[in-house]
Structure 1
C-alpha cells in the first residue's frame, strides 16, 4: 500500500541531506576556491525548509518504470537547485520584493542583493553539472536528454519566460488565456520537467512520455491554482511568506477572475484531469496520483 506522507518525508530528508553535502566550500570549489559568503548564501536559500515536491515528482515518475529512488536522487537534486535559485531571484526587490521565505529572512535580506543574485546564479549552474556527471545516469544520451529537459523547463520558454510574462501582465493586464499561459510557464514548466525527467530516467517510450506530460501539465495548473487560492485565504504565518500580495499589486489570477469558490471548483476539475491521464499505468502511478491530490488539498 502506497504511503504518500512517508514518501514525501523520505524524499525531503534525502534531498536535505544531499543539499547539505553538496553545498560546501570543498564540493563547490574548482578551478578556484568557492567564496565562503557565496556558499553560505546558497545554503541559506536552499536548506531548512521546503517540501521538495519537484524531486518527489521525479522519483514518483521514475518509480513507474521500476527505477529505485536512489537512482532518481541526482536528477531530483538538480531540479531542486533550479527551484531554489528561482525563489532567491523571485524574492529580490526588482522582482516580487519579499522579506520572508519559509518563515526566515530572504537571501537578499540575510546577506545583500548582489550576493543573492550570485547565489542564485551558482545554484542554477551547479544543477547542470550534476546532470552531466556519470553519477546521474550511466548512459550519456540519457544525461544529455535530462540536461535539455531541465534547460527547456527553466528557460525562456519555461519558468524564466513565465516570470517575464508575469511582469508584463502586471504592467499591461491579462486576459484569461494570458494568465493560463503565464502560469503554465512560470510554475508549470518546472513541474512538467520534473515528471518528464523521471520518465526519461526510466526509459519511457514516446506514448508513456506523452501520457506523463499530460498529467504533469494538469498537475502544474493545479499547483498554481492552489497557490493563488492560498494567497487569498491563508495567513502569512501558515505560508511562511507574505500573503495577499497578488491583490496588493493588482496582479490578476484565476481567483480574481473566477472568485474563490469558482477557483476551487476549477481546481478539482484540473486534478481530475491529471488523475485521468494516469489510467494507463494502474497502481504503479499511485505516487503521482497522491501528489496531484496533495496539490489541491495543501494548506501552505
Structure 2
C-alpha cells in the first residue's frame, strides 16, 4: 500500500475500486489501521493549519520525504506540487501547538501496565489517573503527553481524565474506540463484550462508522456481534465495587447482583429457579466480607436455600 494512495483516499480522489482496496487493507491488520490513522491525523491537522503555512511546498515535500525515510515508512512517490494535497507536506513543519511530525509519523511504542491479583492505580504522564480492577491490563503510548493513546487489553478500568482540548484522550478496545477531552468513566472489556459507563462529562464511542455520545449516567454495551451502538441509562452502582469496596444495591435484581459476585469472587453461582431471578435487594455488602457471608445475608433476606455442588453454588426457593 503506497502513501500516495492513502492520501488520495483521504482527499476522496480515489475510484470505487481503489476505495475497496484501501478499506480491505485497513481491515487486514491492526498495524495497517495504525498507519492509516496517523495519516488521517496528519490530514486533519493540515487542513486547520494550511492557511498559516509560509513554507515552500516543494521544499516541504523534500523534507517530508527525508522524514519518511528516516522513520522507515513506506516510500512516497514524487508528486506534482500543483496537487492540492501537497499542502499536507507544506504544513507538516509548522505544527507546533499539537502533534509534532515525529509523533505522527514515527512508530509509536507502548508501555504496558497490569493490575495482577489486586486493584491497582496508575498516574499517567499527563496527570490522568487509572484505577484497574484485578487482572486488568492496559498499555499507553510512550510519548503520552503528545499522544494520549491507550489500548485496553482486558479487564475493568476507571478513567479520570485530565482536561486538554488540544490533545483528545483515545482508548482503543479491539474494534471499539472511545474519545474524550476530560471526564470520568468506567470501561469493562471481558469475554468479547465492552461496556462504557460515564460518571462525568461526555464520552464519544465509535464502532466502525457508528458513533454515539454518552453523558453522565448513560452507558453502552457492545458485544462481538454488535453493529449498532445503543445507549441506555445505567441503573446501578455495582460496576464501581472495586473502587468503593462495596456492592451497593438499590432495588437491584438478584440475577444482576450474583453476576457481579461471580466476577468479583471468581465464583460460579447459579439460580435454578426462574421465579427468584428478579427478586430485588436493597442493602450494601462489603467486598472485604467473604462470599459465604454475603450469600448468607441474601438467603436470609429473600428466604432462599443455598446448595453446593462441587464448584457450583446453587440458589433456589426455600423448600
Normalising TM by the smaller chain, what interval?
A: under 0.3
Higher relative contact order (CA 8 A, sep 6+): 1
Q: Which has the higher strand share?
A: 2
Q: TM-score of the superposition, structure 1-length normalised?
A: 0.28
TM-score (norm 2): 0.27
Larger CA Rg, structure 1 vs 2: 2
